[in-house]
Amino acid sequence: MIAQAPLLSPEHVAMIDKGVSAIVASRNAANRPSLMRAVGTAISPDGAEITVFLSRTQSRQLLQDVAATGELAVVFSEPLSHRTVQVKGRAQELRPAAESDRPLLRRYLASMEYEVSCVGFDARFVRAMLGCTLEDMVAIRLRPSQAFDQTPGPRAGSPLNAA
């Protein structure tokens, strides 16, 4: 089996890893979309696996669609620069968030508080936007199979390949 070339460059992995805005989308069998803001994210050092955390109560349709199709798209965007990356892939695992996820979720919240403060909103706004109990969170792990530059400008929509 031939190893797949990495889709995300180290710079893209670093951007996602620091904790930026993330919108998760899927679709049902009739191609009707569903989407929701992630309340946390994580990425492996090589970019081969991404985990997104969602509020179960706020993401019912999206979770049903992922369960039915397995398909996901996630858009990661820096609020100040609008630098944006989209990844698409298949869900590898859906699980309840665990106590061991708490440090990662705190780090994500702190990063988002900083990122959103750069565009003029204070931490209260971010805490309200991302507020969710651990018991209500579900984690979805995916392996990106496609990645795109979605930063506004002439390269928007261009496929990414780190190689």
Show the domains of the chain with their CATH numbers: 10-147 (2.30.110.10)
**What pLDDT, on a 0 to 100 scale, did the predictor assign at position 43?**
97
Q: Is the CB of residue 62 less than 8 Å from the CB of residue 25?
A: yes
Q: How far apart are CA 118 and CA 98, in angstroms?
A: 30
The alpha carbon dihedral of 90, 93, 98, 104 has a sign of negative
Q: Which of 112, 121, 101, 141 is CA-nearest to residue 18?
A: 112
Paired sense of beta strands 84-96 and 21-27, if any: unpaired
pLDDT tens, N- to C-terminus, the chain (163 residues): 445 667 899 999 999 999 999 999 999 999 999 999 999 999 999 999 999 999 999 999 999 999 999 999 999 999 999 999 999 999 999 999 999 999 999 999 999 999 999 999 999 999 999 999 999 999 999 999 999 999 999 999 999 976 5
- Residue 72's DSSP bridge partners are 89
Cα 76 to the center of its chain, rounded Å: 6
Cβ atoms within 10 Å of 99's Cβ, excluding its own:
7
pTM of the model: 0.93
Q: How far apart are CA 134 and CA 153, in angstroms?
A: 38
